[in-house]
Every structure is written in structure tokens, then in C-alpha cells.
Amino acid sequence: MQQPALHLQRRDPTRNMARFYRLSIEPTLFGDVALVREWGRIGTHGRRRLDLFTNGHEADRALRVLSAAKIRRGYRELG
């Protein structure tokens, strides 16, 4: 069920802002599904958070909600 990661960036040179946000859905060793979130300044390792879900539909819904919120805040998807 692993799908490609969603890569978002937000850049604003006037504010010295260069941020990334990456979302992906990955299986865990215990049969759950994890929504993996990684974020930080472009060029750094950033931070990483895993949110566990019992099925892929819940994880996909959470991914869509988070990505929509980031896009509203000015992030753009890399193509």
C-alpha cells in the first residue's frame, strides 16, 4: 500500500524562509499503517513524526487534511 511521498515547499526570500514538508504513508512491522511527516528548513534533516492508523483509509484521509492545511498556508507541491 506504500504510495509516493508528497513533497511540499514554502519559500519566501524576503522573510528568509525556505521550508519543506514531506508526507508519506508506510506500513509498519506490526500490521498498522503509519503517516510519516517530515518537516524543517530546506538543507537540514528536519524533524520526523509517525502517526499510526489501523487502516490505509484513515491514514490517507489524514494525509489529505494535512496537505490541504499546508497548501492553505502557502506551501506548494513539487512536481
What is the set of domains in the chain, with CATH numbers? 6-77 (2.20.140.10)
- Could you report the per-residue pLDDT of 2-57, keeping only the tens digit for each? 578 999 999 999 999 999 999 999 999 999 999 999 999 999 999 999 999 999 99
59: which 3 cell numbers? 491514514
Provide the strand spans (E) within the chain. 6-12, 17-27, 33-41, 47-53, 76-77
* Other C-beta atoms lying within 10 Å of the C-beta of residue 74: 13
Q: What is the pLDDT of residue 4?
A: 82
Global pTM reads 0.88
